């Protein structure tokens, strides 16, 4: 008698990207989903949602997780308007700063407060983006590590331009979301 092999579990998770204007949120999503990069800056208007499936371990078994990736405009004036709809059902956050602009690192504190107020403590991954511009760096990996440590979160240095660390960042968040649910057994 043949043993029945159960199909791989398929899970959906909504994740959001937060960070100031022009830190590279949209470019990171394009690199992750389409493996492309475009140097032209086009401001995100409102919110854009894309999807990519990644492998995770779900309650001890291999599974697939559809990441519904929500990319929001970074403009301060729009935060209040978009926050409820944007964060509704969010299960994880990628918080992005531009390593050439230290103020974008400091501003992540405001984004984290906003996120926690809306959805509580969800898994987060902190990214120092634009490591391809390391000669202009104003944010050190240690500073990003400190922020990650305060929030018990993973941190990575990334480049949407070269692809460095991008796949790892989204997979780290997917794994953190899965691990959180693995504790619900």
d(CA 127, CA 99): 9
Residue 48: its pLDDT value, please?
75
Q: Where are the domains of the chain?
A: 9-180
The predicted-structure confidence for 56-75, as pLDDT tens digits, reads as follows 999 889 999 999 998 876 66
pTM of this prediction?
0.88
The predicted-structure confidence for 28-62, as pLDDT tens digits, reads as follows 999 998 887 766 555 555 567 889 999 999 988 99
d(CA 82, CA 142): 32
Residue 121: burial class (beta carbons within 10 Å; 0-12, 13-18, 19+)? exposed
Residue 6: its pLDDT value, please?
58
Residue 88: its pLDDT value, please?
87
Q: Which CATH superfamily is domain 9-180 in?
A: P-loop containing nucleotide triphosphate hydrolases (3.40.50.300)
Q: Given strand 90-98, what is the order of strands in its sheet?
A: 47-58, 61-72, 9-18, 90-98, 124-129, 154-158
> Does residue 79 surpass a pLDDT of 70?
no
The predicted-structure confidence for 103-143, as pLDDT tens digits, reads as follows 999 999 989 998 899 899 999 999 999 999 999 999 999 99
Would you say 93 and 115 are in contact if contact means Cβ atoms under 8 Å apart?
yes
């Amino acid at each position: 008698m043949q043993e029945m092999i159960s199909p791989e579990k398929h899970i959906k998770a909504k994740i959001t990207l937060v960070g100031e204007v022009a830190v590279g949120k949209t470019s990171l999503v394009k690199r992750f989903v389409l493996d492309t990069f475009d140097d032209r800056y086009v401001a995100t208007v409102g919110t854009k949602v894309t999807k990519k499936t990644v492998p995770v371990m779900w309650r001890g078994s291999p599974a697939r997780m559809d990441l519904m990736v929500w990319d929001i405009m970074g403009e301060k004036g729009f935060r209040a308007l978009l926050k409820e709809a944007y964060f509704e059902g969010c299960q994880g956050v990628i918080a992005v700063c531009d390593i050439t602009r230290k103020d974008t690192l400091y501003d992540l504190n405001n984004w984290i407060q906003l996120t926690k107020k809306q959805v509580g403590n969800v898994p987060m991954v902190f990214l120092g983006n634009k490591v391809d511009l390391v000669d202009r760096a104003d944010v050190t990996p240690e500073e990003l590590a400190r922020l990650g440590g305060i929030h018990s979160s993973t941190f990575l240095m990334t480049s949407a331009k070269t692809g460095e660390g991008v796949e790892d960042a989204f997979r780290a968040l997917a794994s953190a979301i899965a691990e959180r649910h693995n504790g619900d057994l």
